[in-house]
Amino acid sequence: MKEHFKIEDGHLLIGGVDTVKLAEKYGTPLYVTDEKRIRERARKFKRAFPSAELLYAAKANWNISILRIMAEEGFGADVFSDGELYAALLAGIQKEKILFNGNSKSPRELKMALEADVKISIDSEDELITLAEMADKEIEVSFRVNPNISVKTHPKIATGLRESKFGIPAEEATSIYEKAIRLDNIRPIGIHCHIGSQILDISPYRETIERMMDLVAKLTEIGIDIKFVDVGGGLGISYSGEKERRPSDLASLILPIFERRCEEIGIKPILVLEPGRYLVADSTILLTRVNAVKKAYKNFVAVDAGFNIFIRPAMYEAYHEIAIANKMNEEAEETYTVVGPICETGDILGRDRKLPKVKRGDLLAIFDTGAYGFSMSSQYNGRPRPAEILVNDGSDEVIRYGEEYSDLIVKMNLPARLM
């Protein structure tokens, strides 16, 4: 268990608040986030990269309170959709510190980015053309390049491989910049890549920054003034006791190469990073109540949180630690498979977990759910999404109210002939 958790009277505490009480007060399932933990992680990143521009990857968790905390910590935002841009601006993230990413931006999204006056990272030649047709003044852009780098992570979240859908192949990068400078309303000032997510072996960043700087050298030769080099996010966290690499480890790897290459080329661009998971993942637990314990082919523990609100185990076979929040001092005795209430066999939150004896009514805590947890939730199976609570040094506040049944149908329409 990490430092921001405590145990008192056999109960799990987060941010100084008893999870059993939280579950009673707000109901379950319930996402609970420790504000202090997010700030600590954000500051670690800042300290490691004091002169870099840090853009929080909003997709990890774009609750506006979380975005607001990031803004207060001096972060900008990497947004991947119009909705994320909307939320980031609302949360007070400065427009100068927002980069609009995305491999398939719609004209509507591009228009919004132009109106909001944020930087855009272009992902294809077609996007360049659409943008040039739309822009009525000169706009500053970067291009997302696919550096063809392999990282050890789940294949669904390795984004920098040649075969992935993201970015412009590195070999074609120079020619797209050349096309861009011929357009009188497009000014390329940056270069961007993102090699993947949940990266614990950080060595591929070395090759990544080298390849990016090779390109920067070529771009400088053809007269392009590169003002920022964005190497994306990806720093992983420890979900099951793996050794976590710190932002300072990443900095020791990237910065010397970046600085040396900049000096060789004779330019002074800003380094940009886009961490998401590292900042928010371990700040949050998902509390879920046991509805039934069933001895069948396996010992099943059926809880009230399903993959609609937490999809990582089902989607990436991700491991998330699970504990009985009201029995923290009891010894693990039996092996259980924790399943949700969704009508699919794959709705498994944890396989074959050793836990103290589980009983109906127990409260489970699923750890490290702050990144790509709530942000990937849905109402599948007609399940209202749960509340999100922010705890801080013993206090607890709602940062998103739990949905009601009416939220399930609020945007539905019954045509008159069906009435």
Binding site residues, ligand LLP, CB under 6 A: 57, 59-60, 78, 101, 157, 159, 194, 197-198, 232-235, 274-278, 312, 316, 371-372
- Nearest Cα to 69, choosing from 237, 269, 242, 283? 283
Closer CB to ligand LLP, 23 or 118, in the complex: 118
Q: State the minimum distance, in angstroms, from the CB of residue 68 to ligand LLP.
A: 19
**DSSP tag of 30:** E
The rounded distance, in Å, linking the Cα atoms of 54 and 69 is 14
Q: State the minimum distance, in angstroms, from the CB of residue 193 to ligand LLP.
A: 8
Pick the catalytic residue from 296, 343, 414, 419. Answer: 343
Cβ 282 vs Cβ 2: under 8 Å: yes
Q: State the minimum distance, in angstroms, from the CB of residue 359 to ligand LLP.
A: 31
Q: State the minimum distance, in angstroms, from the CB of residue 326 to ligand LLP.
A: 28
Closer CB to ligand LLP, 275 or 386, in the complex: 275
The rounded distance, in Å, linking the Cα atoms of 99 and 86 is 13
Question: Active site includes 343?
Answer: yes
Closer CB to ligand LLP, 180 or 250, in the complex: 250
Pairing of strands 139-146, 186-192: parallel
What are the tokens at 197?
A: 């997510």
User: Phi and psi dihedrals of 191, rounded to 5?
Assistant: -135, 140
Q: How many residues does the chain have?
A: 419
Burial 240-269 (b: 16+ CB within 10 A, else e): eeeeebebeebbebbbebbeebbeebebeb
Closer CB to ligand LLP, 157 or 366, in the complex: 157
The rounded distance, in Å, linking the Cα atoms of 135 and 88 is 22
Closer CB to ligand LLP, 159 or 284, in the complex: 159
As annotated, the active-site residues are 343
